[in-house]
Each structure stands twice: as structure tokens, then as C-alpha cells.
A and B are shown apart, each in its own frame.
Chain A
Amino acid sequence: MSLELKNVEKKVGLETHIYSTNLKLEKNTINILLGSTLAGKTTLMQIMAGLDKPTSGEIWFNGENVTGKEVQKRNCSMVYQQFINYPNFTVFENIASPLKITGVKPDEIKARVGKVAELLKLSAMLNKKPDELSGGQQQRTALARALVKDSDLILLDEPLANLDFKLREELREELPKLFEDRDCIVVYATTEPLDALMIGGNTATLLEGNVIQYGKTLNVYNKPENLISAKVFSDPPMNIAEISKSGEIFKIKDNNVQWKSNIKIKDGNYKIGIRPHNITTYKEGDNSVEINGKVLISELSGSESLIHFTNGKLNWVSLSNGIQQKNIGENTKLFMNVDEFLYFDTNNRLVTNG
């Protein structure tokens, strides 16, 4: 089983929503579409589901061209950011609805709904209506409806975005387990890099209608093909600075911070990307370089401290463990972990990492 997009392009009027995209999703995988709002995640999913037709290009499923096939005739299910359930059905009827339409026998419906409800901890709520449930339970019902069908393709469009923090963490943890033994392709759209890292599988980074990079999630994170992919897959935002290299000496142009490294690249101009957690108030790793900064904002979340500071003309973001109390305007010393730097050439392509 596989889902393949071949040169898929979507235009609405004069605007291009999806630029020519090639993507092959394999059986039994969870695939994350990672990108900010309007990156084209939802459009791409709707094209995969058959809810929307591409302007050009083809969609192949299991070696069959399904480009023009109606959504009703495909075997897929979808969960939305909003909690979409039939308002006047009970939870049981809601979960059973896709089975009823396809004419499954009542006994079997009962058994299958019961099983899925148990999996999603809904067994006690089967007789309630959606508006009597909490947001988390409503979304579980929507998930159950998607799972009960044994679809070949399950699309999850930011399913956790409208949940509060605790519920989101809880459901995020359960999600990969739900799909573990299923014979299907899962596509999961999210704006949050953390979602991608926690769910794992494969990730495609998206920006403004372009699929930037697709591959194993950790691979995409550790070795972003280019600066754009690295930016999309970094939250808080990645620090980027222009540097020059001559011999073993690397120097940030803006502030003359310099370090030594023996990585084998030609002398010249480059850009570095530094993830916020690689700039800390304490030394980390064997190779670190000092940077002085004036604190702009410091946010404490208890286990982590986010410190925004300026150095030269640039604004920097750092993320340290624990509570690092800094006052606004204070001059402070931070350490950058040289081994974790990402080096890009002037065309924004990754040269090397570390």
C-alpha cells in the first residue's frame, strides 16, 4: 500500500496554493506535514482525500490512479481541528455512522464500536450527545469515527490544536499507539515541531505551498536540507547569522564572535543556524563559545527559561534548562554549543552540521 502524489499542483484563481509536489507515503507510516498556517497542509490533505482536485498532476493509491475518484468511493477518514461530530447523534451513533452507511451488520457494528470506544476511553459515554462532552472527549469521538472504519488513509488535520495543554499532551502520547497495528497510511498536519518530534515517523516540512523536505523525522530535524526546512522545524525560531571562514577560524560577521573548528569546508562566506537550546547560560558540550548579550525578555516556564537578547544588530533567542533569572536590560554571558551548529552556504543549502 502506498500513496503517491505526482507533480500535484493546486491553483485557485491566480493564486497557487500548492506548487508542483512529489511525495510518496508508504504503508504503515505516520507522516507529519509540518508548516505554519497557510503553508498548504490542509489543501494537500484535501487533495489526498479526494475532497479537492489538483489543478494538475496525479494521485496514485496502491498502483491505481485515483485522481478523479470521488471521496465517497475512497476508503479514507479525516479528523479536523474543530471537533466535528453529528450534533444530534449519541457518541455510539456517531462512531457507528460510517459503518451504517456502508451497510455493516448491527452485531458487527456494536462489536467494532465497542472496541474502538474502549481504545479511546469512551465506553462510559456512548449514550451521551457530543455537546455534553468535554472538548477532549469530542475529539476522541471524532478520532473513534475515523478509526472504526479501517480506512486505508487516515488524515488528521491539526487534531490537537483546539485542546488545552494537558489534554493535548495526553492524546499526543496515545496517538502513535492507536495507529501501531493498523494497516494504513496516517497523515498528520501540525504547526508545532514538537508534535512531529514526539510522534516520530516521517516528516515533510512545508512553506507557502512548497514541500521543502521529506524524510524520517529525526533526519529532517538533524540534517535539514536547507535553511527553510530548518526554520520550519524549529520552535522557538532558529537563530541565523552570517559568518565567514578562513582556515580554522569562523567568525560571525555582525559581532566578531569567533570559534575554531576543523570541519572540512572551503574558506568563504556561510550562514549558521543555531537552535535556541544550543545557546545556554551554562557551558554545554566540549566546544562552546561565549556570546555577550543584553537581555530583552526573559520567560520562565519552570523547567525551562527562554531568554531573548541582543548582540550587535541581531536579536537572539536562547533556551536554557531550569530557572535562569535575568533582568531586562541586564548584560549577560551565554554559551553557544559549537558542535550543534548548522552551516548553510549562501544559497541556503546545508553544507554540514557540527
Chain B
Amino acid sequence: MNKTLNQKAWFFVIPVFALVAFNAVVPLMTVVNYSFQETFGSNVFQWEGTRWFKEILHSERFHASLGRQFIFTFIILLIQLPLGIAIALTMPKKGWGVPVCLILMSMPLLIPWNVVGAMWNIFALPDIGFLGNSLNSLGFDYNFTQQSGDAWFTTILMDVWHWTSLVVLLSYAGLNSIQPAYYQAAEIDGAGRWDIFRYIELPKMKKVLTLAILLRFMDSFMIYTEPFVLTGGGPGNATNFLSLDLVKMALGQFDLGPAAAMSLIYFLIVLLMCWVFYSLMMKDEGRT
């Protein structure tokens, strides 16, 4: 068959290129630009090579906030995934309960992030907040503004409250796509509840759970607004996560070079982790 050569179709791609250039490539390149230079404002720049990268990679402050970030993300994934799946399993499959549950579940997701932070800040205040006051009157010595353990507890509780719904909704969608015949077939085989979960529901939910893990990993790894409003990274540096630290460095101290280098390292870590997760979890899918 003879094909006529016509490359005009490429012109249709130009708008996309322009758009991506403006909203991704150009800003990213500015950051790359900053990361290799030193500036003292008034548009004066001085080439520094890889100095900022080396500094960041060897800085104890970066190690500490990165460590905190990993621990935080690990803990919330560990809580939110099983909890989300468990809630999804107990949600009704038909009847009036379905819309009620779905609306209840989506509510936390609809609240603006800084409002979540402010809500929890007030909620957890040891003197007037409902949570803080109740805990104290129950005999717990609870003060999230002064004790690091309490600050962590509150931040994690807030994130679980805010984001478990996402895992619930994804798992629920995954569960609903399983045909009833699977459950019947398992019952006929004599399988118990756990077998059904382990050998039917879990494998069938694999794809949505992969998505849930990826989304929750990325979002929690980049968490900023809520801890900023709740604790501001404190007490001390106890809840100073990567993004909080980054903003402090860039805007607080106006260290644009190191902050730019840190942004790039941060970005590469997120990218790498997502790639690793995704390829690990999709390992078996390649064959089909």
C-alpha cells in the first residue's frame, strides 16, 4: 500500500508542547537554573556548579527532615490502607446506605486543606479544643504544641481522618466490580470469609490498591498545608517535613540556590519511589 507522506499532523501537537513548556518545563528549568548558582538578589548570579547539591546531600538538616518524611509516609500508609480496605468491606452494597456512606466518606476530601489544618489545630488545643481538653481530663498529659510525640500523634490522626476516605472509595469501587459469581463459586468450594478476602477480593482490588498506594504515597510525601497550619513544623523541628523545611529554606532564609537543589532532589526521590512502587506492583501484569 502506498502511503502519502504528510507531516502536517505535527502542527496539531504544537499547542500541547507550548502548554507543557509553560506549565512544566519553564518553571522546572528556572529551578534547575537556581540550583547551580548563587544569588543575592538584584538579579546578580554567580556560578556555583554542584556545590548546593553536595551541601544538601551531606546536610544533617536534610537527612533529618527526609527521615521524618519517610517515617510519616510509612506510618500513614500502614494505617490508611488496612483501615480503608476494612471500611470499604463493611460498607453496604445496595440500598439507601450506599449514597449515605459515599457522601459521608467523600466529605473529608472536599474540605480545603488549610481548613483541615485549622480545624484540627482548634480541635486539638489542650485548653479549649474538644480533643485536647477531653484527653487531658481523661488523665493524659496531652499538648501537641509542646510535646513532639503529641504533635506526631495529632498530625497522623489528622491525615488519617482526611485521607482514609480516598482509600475507602477506591477499594469500594474495586470491590463493587467483582461479579457476585466469584463469591458464590468460593462459597461452593467451601471457602471461608478470610479465603474469600485473600484469594478473590485482594487480587481483584490489586489495581485500585496500587493506585491508592501511589496517590497516598505522593500526597503524603509532599504534605505541606495541613502540618503548616497545625504545628508549623514544631515543636522545635519535630514535625518539620521535607516540604516545610524546603519553604523555610527558600522563603524564610532566602537561600534560593540550596532550596532549588533540594527541590530537585526532592522531586527525583518522589519520581524514583513512584517508579519503584509501580514496577514492583505491576510486575505480574506485563504478561497479559
Among A78, A87, A142, A145, contact of B204 (Cβ-Cβ < 8 Å): A87
Which residue of A has the minimal Cβ distance to B200?
A86
Please indicate the chain B residues that have their CB under 8 angstroms from the CB of A145 in the complex. Answer: 189
Please list 17 pairs of residues, one from A and one from B, whose beta carbons are closer than 8 Å in the complex, sorted by A's number: A51-B184, A51-B187, A71-B184, A71-B188, A72-B188, A77-B189, A82-B181, A86-B199, A88-B203, A89-B199, A97-B199, A98-B188, A98-B189, A98-B190, A101-B190, A102-B190, A132-B288
- For residues 134 through 150 of chain A, which have their beta carbon under 8 Å from a beta carbon of chain B? 142, 145
Q: How far is the CA of A237 from the CA of B225 in the complex (A)?
A: 68
Check if A49 is an interface residue, CB within 8 A of chain B.
yes
Check if B195 is an interface residue, CB within 8 A of chain A.
yes
Among B179, B181, B191, contact of A101 (Cβ-Cβ < 8 Å): B191
Check if B267 is an interface residue, CB within 8 A of chain A.
no
Are B179 and A72 within 8 A (Cβ)?
no
Check if B185 is an interface residue, CB within 8 A of chain A.
yes
Are B189 and A84 within 8 A (Cβ)?
no
Q: How far is the CA of A155 from the CA of B284 in the complex (A)?
A: 33
Please indicate the chain B residues that have their CB under 8 angstroms from the CB of A89 in the complex. Answer: 199
Q: How far is the CA of A68 from the CA of B260 in the complex (A)?
A: 70
Please indicate the chain B residues that have their CB under 8 angstroms from the CB of A98 in the complex. Answer: 188-190
Q: How far is the CA of A84 from the CA of B200 in the complex (A)?
A: 10
Q: How far is the CA of A51 from the CA of B181 in the complex (A)?
A: 11
Contact digits for A67-98, partner B, Cβ 8 Å, 1 yes 0 no:
00001100011101110101111000000011
Are B288 and A84 within 8 A (Cβ)?
no
Please indicate the chain A residues that have their CB under 8 angstroms from the CB of B179 in the complex. Answer: 82, 84
Shortest A163–chain B CB gap in Å is 16
How would you classify the secondary structure of chain A's contact residues: helix, strand, loop or mixed?
mixed
Please indicate the chain B residues that have their CB under 8 angstroms from the CB of A46 in the complex. Answer: 184
Tally of chain A residues near chain B (CB < 8 A): 24
Check if B58 is an interface residue, CB within 8 A of chain A.
no
- For residues 46 through 72 of chain A, which have their beta carbon under 8 Å from a beta carbon of chain B? 46, 49, 51, 71-72
Check if A180 is an interface residue, CB within 8 A of chain B.
no
Check if A118 is an interface residue, CB within 8 A of chain B.
no
Q: How far is the CA of A353 from the CA of B188 in the complex (A)?
A: 44
Q: How far is the CA of A87 from the CA of B284 in the complex (A)?
A: 12
Tally of chain B residues near chain A (CB < 8 A): 18
- For residues 84 through 126 of chain A, which have their beta carbon under 8 Å from a beta carbon of chain B? 84, 86-89, 97-98, 101-102
Q: How far is the CA of A78 from the CA of B189 in the complex (A)?
A: 9
Are B195 and A101 within 8 A (Cβ)?
yes
Q: How far is the CA of A80 from the CA of B191 in the complex (A)?
A: 17
Interface contact tally, CB-CB below 8 A: 55
B-side interface residues toward A, CB under 8 Å? 179, 181-182, 184-185, 187-191, 195, 199-200, 203-204, 284, 287-288
Check if A299 is an interface residue, CB within 8 A of chain B.
no
Please indicate the chain B residues that have their CB under 8 angstroms from the CB of A235 in the complex. Answer: none
Are B199 and A84 within 8 A (Cβ)?
no
Please indicate the chain A residues that have their CB under 8 angstroms from the CB of B199 in the complex. Answer: 86, 88-89, 97
Q: How far is the CA of A46 from the CA of B180 in the complex (A)?
A: 12
Are B185 and A84 within 8 A (Cβ)?
yes
Which residue of A has the minimal Cβ distance to B188?
A78
Which residue of A has the minimal Cβ distance to B179?
A82
Are A131 and B288 within 8 A (Cβ)?
yes
- Other than the given A84-B185, A131-B288, 19 more pairs (CB < 8 A) read A46-B184, A49-B184, A72-B187, A72-B188, A77-B189, A78-B184, A80-B181, A80-B185, A82-B181, A84-B179, A86-B199, A87-B203, A87-B204, A89-B199, A101-B189, A101-B191, A132-B287, A132-B288, A142-B185
Which are the 5 A-B pairs with shortest beta-carbon distances? Answer: A88-B203, A98-B189, A80-B181, A87-B203, A84-B185
Q: How far is the CA of A142 from the CA of B181 in the complex (A)?
A: 12
Please indicate the chain B residues that have their CB under 8 angstroms from the CB of A81 in the complex. Answer: 181
Q: How far is the CA of A101 from the CA of B196 in the complex (A)?
A: 12
Assess A97 versus B181: contact at CB under 8 Å? Given A86-B200, A87-B203. no
Contact digits for A31-55, partner B, Cβ 8 Å, 1 yes 0 no:
0000000000000001001010000
Please indicate the chain B residues that have their CB under 8 angstroms from the CB of A72 in the complex. Answer: 187-188, 190-191
Please indicate the chain B residues that have their CB under 8 angstroms from the CB of A82 in the complex. Answer: 179, 181
Residue from B179, B181, B185, B191 whose CB has the most chain A CB atoms within 10 Å? B185
Which residue of A has the minimal Cβ distance to B287?
A132
